[in-house]
Structure 1
Amino acid sequence: MDTKSLIIDTATILFQQKGYKSVGLNEILKACKVTKGALYHHFPNGKEELLIACLQALNEAITTDIENIFRGHLSTKEATQSILDKLIHNLETEGTIIGYTFSSIVSEMATVSEPVRNACSALYENIQHIYCAKLVTDGFSNESASAIALLMTASIEGAMMLCLTQKSTDPLKTIAKLLPNIIKAF
């Protein structure tokens, strides 16, 4: 792995685990075993530029994963169940869903930095677009698909945050039971 990717991957994990404000550059440097010069070579504007690179990497990874899951299932209901099953499995086996959620970063930084808010917004928009496109394929109108995609995004992201704070998979399990029925109700 090249130095820039190493810095991004390491910082992403640390930001997700501890929050942006709680992680200092020295902690990132120590975890990566790189010099301050190496970090500033790749991120001359410092920590916020690194955070945006982390969010962009998360955007790509999460979007690709969701797209692959949705391509592999015939209906939105099946694809959604697959995503929820994956998240539940990750939480049960690894004790975390790091790599799939970025809500802590959003809540901490979105009102402080417009570039960070834009990076977070782009990820949510990409997720909703994937859900919406599949719902339209399932026969929903554009308006209904857009509304359901928003509900799906908010429900899944909210359930992930509740799982992390409660140290329990129950919120995702509840969403897995209810969300397919809510989709059908539209």
Structure 2
Amino acid sequence: MDTKSLIIDISTTLFQQKGYLGVGLNEILKACNLSKGSLYHHFPNGKEELLIACLHSINETITTDMETIFQYYSSTQTATQAMIEKLVAQFDRDGMIIGYTFSSLVSEMGSLSEPVRNACALSFTKIQEIYTKKLVADGFTKETAQSIAIMMTASIEGGIMLCLTQKTSDPLKIVSQVLPNLLREF
């Protein structure tokens, strides 16, 4: 793995565990075993530029995983359930959901930095496009599919945040049970 990718991988984990403001530059340097000059060589604009690179990395991980799941399952309901079950298993195993959410970073930094807000908005848009594509394949109109995609994104992201704050996977388990039933009602 090259140095830039290593910095992004380690920093992504630190940002997700402690938040952007909770991670100092010295902590990143120590965790990556780098000098300040080396970090600024790869990220000349500093920590915020690194955060945006981390957000792009998280987005790539999330969307690639989602696309794989959504291509494998025949319906939106079964694909959504499988995706949520994967999140529940990760939370039950690790006590957190690393690499699959950026909601906490959005709430922490989205109002402070327009480039960070834009990176987060792009990520949510890509997630909603995956849902919309599958819903259209299931027979929904594009307009209805886009509305449902927003609801699915909000439900799953909200479930993840509740899991993290309540320290239990129960909120995502409930979303996994209720969301597929709601999709059948449309």
Q: Which amino acid aligns with 1:175?
A: V
Does 1:112 find its partner at 2:112? yes
SS in 2 for 1:14: helix
Alignment partner, residue 132 of structure 1: 132
For the residue of structure 2 that corresponds to 1:100, the secondary structure is coil
TM-score by length of 2: 0.99
Structure 2 match to 1:174 = 174
| 1:68 alignment partner in structure 2 | 68
CA displacement 1:108-144 (0-9 Å, x = unmatched)? 1111111000000000000000000000000001111
Counterpart Cα distance in 2 of 1:105 and 1:184: 32
Runs of 4+ in structure 1 off by over 6 angstroms are: none
1:90 is matched with which residue? 90
- Aligned 1:1-186 pairs, distance under 5 A: 1-186=1-186
> Which runs of 5 or more structure 2 residues have no equivalent in the other structure?
none
Q: Which amino acid aligns with 1:84?
A: I
* Separation of aligned partners in 2, 1:118 and 1:65: 22
Counting aligned pairs with the same residue, the percent is 64
The alpha carbon displacement at 1:166 in A equals 0.3
Structure 1 CA distance, aligned partners of 2:58 and 2:139? 30
2:55 partner letter: L
> How many residue pairs end up in the alignment?
186
When normalised by structure 1's length, the TM-score is 0.99
User: Structure 1 residue 100: deviation in Å?
Assistant: 0.4
Displacement after TM superposition at 1:94 (Å) = 1.4
Q: Distance in 2 between matches of 1:19 and 1:92?
A: 21
In structure 1, distance between residues paired with 2:41 and 2:132? 40
- C-alpha displacement at 1:96, in angstroms? 1.1
Aligned-residue CA RMSD in angstroms? 0.6
Question: Could you tell me how far 1:185 is from its partner in structure 2?
Answer: 1.1
Q: State the one-letter code of the partner of 2:96.
A: T
SS at match of 1:8: helix
